[in-house]
Amino acid sequence: MKKNELKVIGKSHQKLDSKERVSGKAIYGHDIELPNMLHGSILRTKYPCADIISIDTSRAEALKGVECVITAADIDVNNISYKRDHPILKKGTVNCNRDEIAAVAAKTKEIADKAIQLIEVEYKVKEGIYDPFTAIEKDSPKINEFGKGAEKFGNKNIAESFHYEHDDLEEQKTLSKVIVKKTYELPRVTHACLATSNITAKFDQLDGRLTLWSSTQVPFLYQRDIAHALKMDPSKIRIIQPVIGGGFGSKLDMYPFEPICALLAMKSGKPVQILYSREEEFIASPTRQPMVIELTTGADANGKFTFREIEIIKDNGAYTSWGATTPFVMMQAFSSLYQVPACKFDSQAVYTNNPFAGSFRGYGNPQATFSIEINIDLMAEELGMDKAEIRLINANYKGEVTGQGLHFKTCGAIPALETVIKKSQFDQIYNESKKGRYRRGIGLGSMLHVGGGAKIYRSDGCGTTLKLDDYGYLTIITGSSEIGQGSETVLAMIAIEELGIPIEKIKVINTDTDVKPWDVGVHASRTSFVAGNSLLGAIKLLKGKLNKKASELLNVVTEDWVYQDGMMLFNEFEIKVDKVAREIHFGSPHELCTVNYFYEPPSRFQDKDFKGDVSGNYAFATQAIEVEVDTVTGNVNVLNVHVSQDVGRVLNPIGLQGQIEGGVAIGIGYALTEEMIYENGILMNPSFHGYKLLTTTDMPNVHFYPIESYDEAGPYGSKGAGEAPLIPTAAAIANAVSNAIGIRFDSLPITAEKVLRALSENTK
């Protein structure tokens, strides 16, 4: 695909909703107040592993202002979650410290919280299992009573299992000059969205319809999940998405508090709102998958990779979320990031009495990439090779079809590597002497991620309805959702580019399942790609209508109308777009300028062996990160982050830059500061005081060099970009720390404490 000249795409455009957000006028879930609205509160278990002997709610029910109390005994519902192994309210046993036992709706939040304290639960405390390696031992008790591990995977505590392989591993081992085997441990971290989880529910008893104001990022899957949970018809459930205060994958699953809120509304007959406190957000919202990865990799005498063999044990926690499917993405990284002649991958998600892990931006890929990129450094060291060189000779290339069947029709892997190696002055910093208190180091990390959606659900599509009104104003009704990433701005830019309608005349409607057409949701960096293509399809239909009518009105025969500044132009002919729309409406054929289009990407389901071209295109990136280690305090200071990423084509430069910087910030937190610390299933640091997010003064300079590979599958040649910037960050930082002080860290986060301990052990 060649770069064609565009007027709007590729030039920075301010975020469509930013004026509303910067003036405090945007309405988030926390800001909703409905008439007669009650406030809900949830009683969670006192112990992460126990039998429930009895629940007495009588004192809570007697409290003035309490309108309803529910426990498992009061509700007729189905289990929720990806594996349907999660009861909404627990009875009999509790399995982790998030477990919901009862819920209250009351006139005020204070009364609801007080009522929760008055519920008396008698427990028989049991010894929990918090280590997945203990959980998979034969004599361990079964943790989740609904788990099907014994039947499906030969072990009662295995929640999900994946096996993948391509080509002959043993043969490749014989060709290897060097084989590196290493075990990595990745921590549990959380999204820490600035807005805590929230939901408002209203049930209309007259027609049996339920309305939920929910910050889900997958409204149509969510509608179906809520319906399944509550045994309702999905079409009777309307999902309205208020402005969402951060997503990052946390809102991919539906969680118990959401049907609980609906049940409270149904039982009380009044609207009910549940808002998490920050402490509750830490305790009861999802996390990234913690895991132990054992990675064995080989390379031949020339440094060409020969094979990868992977064994992963993931701590699934007590229930199973979409996050259990992260191996779909991880196996792509292991099988196809760089050229990999042979690969064997096994991963087990194991039930424990820890809280269940969910999905988080990157979806398993930061963990996989961390292990891959460190092993590459180690192999280079054993071979005495340059760390840039070993990556370049193994890099992915245009036209490559990987062992897994991913087809890289375009590929910016080599340009991305070359760019950051040069711009970061990698060789110079890498080879400078490392002495004194402050030691500088530099490291590399690359990544591969889906860039054109991912076919993991039966449809990976998105619908668009366009309405051009009598005055030339365009309403884009898109199935896709805005969660802060700026996708609706990109959609508006596409409409301006194609139809020449000024921004003041464009509106994007995307928050109501009763109105908008179907879309699978915000995930897999897919929104600009899938919703953009869907919009382009709809615009083509709209132009067909307008072109025909304009030609008829001006008595010319052409399809080549140019849309510019509200006008349609062809040679000496010109006519206003809104006039054409009015002629279609009020004249013949008496139609509205409304069109519908549904786009389904050309990607395919992978076969039972997980082989196949799963995405419309693929994103590639490399980061070179420069750090300075203080050998007195152990503190790792990130100085410069050089990011080069194949984004296909830059659509909105300022929006893309924000995605890159924001992703890198989460990546640095993952590398250096963030960890949820559990002791016997209880979270010890449920606050921003104990869980360290980066602040303004921690943030290094981020230098971004986009690679434009113009992939024809994406809108104007673009690829998904949202997840990529955090995927290789921790790997590059770990490699940089090793360069600075000569010590390898195989677990995250690389805290000052850990560095200091390692330095003192090294000097003994």
Could you list the residues that contact another protein (CB under 8 A)?
12, 14-15, 17-19, 21-28, 30-31, 191-196, 243-248, 277-278, 483-486, 654-655, 657-658, 660-666, 687-689, 693-697, 699, 702
Minimum CB separation of residue 26 from another protein in Å reads 6
Nearest residue to 472 via CA among 448, 441, 507 = 507
Distance CA 219, CA 498 (A): 28
Minimum CB separation of residue 271 from another protein in Å reads 16
Minimum CB separation of residue 655 from another protein in Å reads 7
Distance CA 458, CA 302 (A): 43
Which lies closer to another protein via its Cβ, residue 403 or residue 720?
720
Radius of gyration of the chain (CA): 27
Distance CA 448, CA 622 (A): 9
Which lies closer to another protein via its Cβ, residue 686 or residue 717?
686
Minimum CB separation of residue 498 from another protein in Å reads 23
Distance CA 694, CA 698 (A): 6
Minimum CB separation of residue 591 from another protein in Å reads 38
Which lies closer to another protein via its Cβ, residue 194 or residue 301?
194
Q: Following DSSP, what letter does each residue of 121-184 receive, concatenated?
A: EEEEE------HHHHTSTTSPPS-TT--HHHHHSSTTEEEEEEEEES-HHHHHHT-SEEEEEEE
Which lies closer to another protein via its Cβ, residue 64 or residue 231?
64
In one-letter notation, the amino acid at residue 306 is T
- Structure tokens given for 658: 């924000």
Residue 688's Cβ-count burial label (10 Å; 0-12, 13-18, 19+) is exposed
Which lies closer to another protein via its Cβ, residue 26 or residue 556?
26
DSSP assignment letter at 517:
P
Minimum CB separation of residue 166 from another protein in Å reads 37
Which lies closer to another protein via its Cβ, residue 292 or residue 665?
665
What is the widest separation between alpha-carbon atoms in the chain? 91
Minimum CB separation of residue 762 from another protein in Å reads 33
Minimum CB separation of residue 275 from another protein in Å reads 8
Which lies closer to another protein via its Cβ, residue 193 or residue 337?
193
Minimum CB separation of residue 370 from another protein in Å reads 20
In one-letter notation, the amino acid at residue 8 is V
Distance CA 338, CA 414 (A): 10
Which lies closer to another protein via its Cβ, residue 76 or residue 504?
504
Distance, CA of 38 to chain centre: 32
| HSE value, Cβ hemisphere, 13 Å, CA-based, for 452 | 30
Which lies closer to another protein via its Cβ, residue 25 or residue 540?
25
Distance CA 431, CA 443 (A): 12
Which lies closer to another protein via its Cβ, residue 192 or residue 293?
192
Sequence-distant (6+) residues with CB within 8 A of 711 are: 1, 409, 410, 451, 452, 617, 648, 717, 718, 719
Minimum CB separation of residue 698 from another protein in Å reads 9
Cα angle 670, 366, 719; round to 5:
120
φ/ψ of residue 550, rounded to 5: -65, -45
